Amino acid sequence: MTGKLDGKRIAIIATDGVEQVELTEPRDAVTREGARTELISPAEGEIQAMNGDITPADTFRVDLTAAEVDAADYDAVILPGGTVNADRLRMDPHVREFLRAVVTAGTPVGVICHGPWTLVEADLVRGRTLTSYPSLRTDIRNAGGTVVDEEVVTDNGLVSSRSPDDLPAFCATIVEEFAAGAHQASATA
């Protein structure tokens, strides 16, 4: 049996504080369809995932640092949430640079919950329609994005969802968008 994502290489960008279910469920959805995932983080070693932002969960081994990766090597990107995760990622210049290169190339991106904070910091939501956890919506609007309150939103390869409750729809949609491949390159970045 072949999967919709056979041969696709997908970056998952996360660090300490990532919401575990927002890392594992999308990862499992794309690997079931044949994709190979790599965990990209600002630093080497392991990251500490969380449940509900406050309860330590599992740790995950980092495959590559953001400084080591080339956006052209990936077919798609998953950007999970977690308040602390997103806040730390948005402050890393290598993460922002990687995301700008990905979006500029039209590479599909799946982002959930607090994940859009990193896109806001990288100036990648201007002119885009997306959703997020409610506390980020003012930031997205202030950065030039349009916010809607829907389970899953797709805008030219950018797939976004609000929270872990939306994971079934989010996972199904990223598989389809990632299978479709590169979208129109964005002038946003």
Q: Is 183 a catalytic residue?
A: no
Q: Cα 165–168–169 angle (5° rounding)?
A: 95
H runs (alpha helix) in 58-145 = 83-90, 93-105, 116-121, 137-142
Q: Is 94 a catalytic residue?
A: no
Q: Which of 94, 114, 171, 183 is catalytic?
A: 114
Q: Which of 94, 113, 171, 183 is catalytic?
A: 113
- Tokens 């959805």: give the residue: 29
Burial of 156 (0-12, 13-18, 19+ CB in 10 A): middle
Q: Which residues are catalytic?
A: 113-114
